[in-house]
């Protein structure tokens, strides 16, 4: 009986240990993370070294898929399109939302909450619905061309021209994501002490100078967060071109992204090994660019 009581006491003390409690509550997350993140990543890397033909038929090819990828003009086309799109969204979805967030936060706009809500509504819309609507908006007789005609400018073939494919995608991205980034930036601006603005105003600083020397520098962490998020989403572009042009078949490959190429390779050509190699390269590109961004912003510097 004494031994049983001692055993129960030891079990209770062990169960109440902070490390055991922490591990117990982390286990479900760790299991899901390993099952849905780590294992698929490892499996994709393994697949990228194989030539897979049909179900259960594979041959180890080493670096063969990567060598073929290095000589694939379609991959370079998709890479350049994705890079240009990511850079375009980086400019449009940082500058425009941050400026609008600063204006709405300044207190000079009446009913600023209503404006934030209206600008945020596109985020709640399904991307499939957005793609179908923008097919109409960017059509020869659509809203964008009607606006151009109103200013005496010629109509443009937004969805029929190779060189207008990326601008069309950037228009869609700006309309959809500006509201979300305004929300991020407004949250960051709200954490800046009002006393700093009041002191600057007493010293005679104009609204633009307060924005330049207070709002901008103190919003550095949230700007970095939005930049990394925008860049990752830019390189993962898929749904927009897939919907705007049926199956992503854009004119001249003007809207071809790396993920669209990966999808075609995996589910149209059924070349899973080559598709896995594309995915691995894309993951490395995103990782390297994210680390460069963090380093440029001094994220790794010790205070």
Q: Is 160 in a helix, a strand, or coil? A: coil
Q: Report the pLDDT value the prediction gives residue 2, as an integer from 0 to 100.
A: 47
User: If you average pLDDT over residues 231-254, what whole number do you get?
Assistant: 89
Q: What is the CATH number assigned to the segment(s) 67-296? A: 1.10.3720.10
> Between residues 303 and 87, which one has the greater pLDDT?
87
pLDDT in tens, 43-79: 888 888 888 765 666 788 888 899 999 999 999 999 9
pLDDT at 201 over 90: no
Residue located via tokens 């205070």: 303
Residue located via tokens 């709200």: 190
Q: Give kind and range of the element (H or E) at residue 40.
A: helix 39-47
- Residue 208's nearest CA partner among 90, 106, 96 is 106
Domain boundaries, the chain: 2-47, 67-296
Instruction: For residue 258, give every residue at least 6 positions away whose Cβ sits within 8 Å of its Cβ, in sequence order, or none.
Output: 75, 78, 79, 82, 235, 237, 278, 282
pLDDT at 270 over 90: no
User: If you average pLDDT over residues 113-126, what whole number do you get?
Assistant: 85
User: If you average pLDDT over residues 210-234, what whole number do you get?
Assistant: 88
Residue located via tokens 């998709």: 78
Q: Report the pLDDT value the prediction gives residue 216, as an integer from 0 to 100.
A: 87
Picking from 50-54, 121-125, 200-204, 285-289, which range would have the lowest pLDDT averaged per residue? 50-54
């Amino acid at each position: 009986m004494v031994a049983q009581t001692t055993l129960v006491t030891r079990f209770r003390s062990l169960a109440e240990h902070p490390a055991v409690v922490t591990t117990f509550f982390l286990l479900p997350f760790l299991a899901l993370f390993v099952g849905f993140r780590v294992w698929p990543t490892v499996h994709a890397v393994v697949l990228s070294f194989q030539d897979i033909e049909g179900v259960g038929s594979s041959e180890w090819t080493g670096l063969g898929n990567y060598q073929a990828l290095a000589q694939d003009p379609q991959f370079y086309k998709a890479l350049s399109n994705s890079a240009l799109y990511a850079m375009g969204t980086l400019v449009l979805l940082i500058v425009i939302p941050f400026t609008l967030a600063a204006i709405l936060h300044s207190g000079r706009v009446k009913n600023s909450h209503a404006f934030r809500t209206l600008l945020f509504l596109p985020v709640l819309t399904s991307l499939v619905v957005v793609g179908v609507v923008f097919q109409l908006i960017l059509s020869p007789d659509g809203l964008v061309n009607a606006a151009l005609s109103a200013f005496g400018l010629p109509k443009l073939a937004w969805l029929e021209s190779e060189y207008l494919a990326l601008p069309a995608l950037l228009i869609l991205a700006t309309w959809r994501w500006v509201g979300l980034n305004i929300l991020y930036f407004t949250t960051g601006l709200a954490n800046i002490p009002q006393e700093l603005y009041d002191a600057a105003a007493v010293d005679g600083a104009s609204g633009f100078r307060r924005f330049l020397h207070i709002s901008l520098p103190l919003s550095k962490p949230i700007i970095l967060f939005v930049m990394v998020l925008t860049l990752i989403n830019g390189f993962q572009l898929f749904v927009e071109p897939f919907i705007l042009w049926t199956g992503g078949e854009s004119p001249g490959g003007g809207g071809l992204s790396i993920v669209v190429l990966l999808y075609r390779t995996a589910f149209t050509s059924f070349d899973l090994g080559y598709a896995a190699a594309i995915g691995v390269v894309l993951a490395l590109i995103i990782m390297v660019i994210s680390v460069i961004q963090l380093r440029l912003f001094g994220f790794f510097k010790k205070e």
